[in-house]
């Protein structure tokens, strides 16, 4: 199956102001935007993306890459407290062949604990695109996750 990548910032769901409900944005500044994905693998599955529209990690400026790294470190501490995370999966897709469907670089941060799907006998295809449908999480639950994480970031 060939996917079309949305790669223009005026059509990008991460660049359009209303595409990500404001109440779901955990953190936003000139370098980063952080929010829970609306189809999580587990509760607390968060996306970190540069504010500037770029499609691959190679396009990040040094300060953007450092901001991503620093935020991941902060976020891991919060996800341990809020969701009891014992480990983490980090992933991003670059290019159609790798499954990138939104042309705005975004890094998945997935908190994991014993018994979660994908930990034992790990296969990246099953972890990222496990068979069957995942139900869309209601906005109310996503806002609750946003609030929980925001409370621990300060």
Query: 45, 53, 104, 106: which one is catalytic?
Result: 106
SS3 107: strand
User: DSSP alpha helices (H): ranges in the chain?
Assistant: 62-83, 124-129, 139-153
Q: In what order do the strands lie in the sheet with 87-91?
A: 27-28, 32-36, 46-50, 107-112, 87-91
Query: In the annotation, is 106 catalytic?
Result: yes
Read off φ and ψ for residue 19, nearest 5 degrees. -65, -35
Catalytic residues, which ones?
Answer: 106
């Amino acid at each position: 199956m060939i996917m079309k990548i949305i790669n223009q910032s005026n059509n990008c769901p991460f660049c359009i102001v209303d595409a990500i409900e404001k109440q779901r944005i955990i953190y936003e500044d000139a370098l980063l935007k952080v929010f829970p994905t609306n189809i999580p693998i587990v509760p607390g599955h968060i996306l970190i993306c540069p504010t500037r529209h770029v499609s691959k990690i190679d396009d990040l400026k040094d300060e953007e890459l450092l901001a991503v790294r620093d935020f991941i470190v902060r976020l891991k501490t919060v996800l341990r407290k809020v969701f009891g995370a014992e480990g983490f999966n980090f992933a991003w897709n670059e290019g159609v062949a790798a499954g990138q469907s939104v042309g705005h670089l975004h890094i998945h941060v997935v908190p994991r604990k014993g018994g979660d799907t994908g930990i034992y006998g790990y296969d990246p295809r099953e972890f990222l695109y496990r068979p069957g449908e995942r139900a869309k999480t209601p906005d109310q639950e996503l806002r609750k996750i946003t609030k929980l994480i925001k409370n621990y970031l300060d």
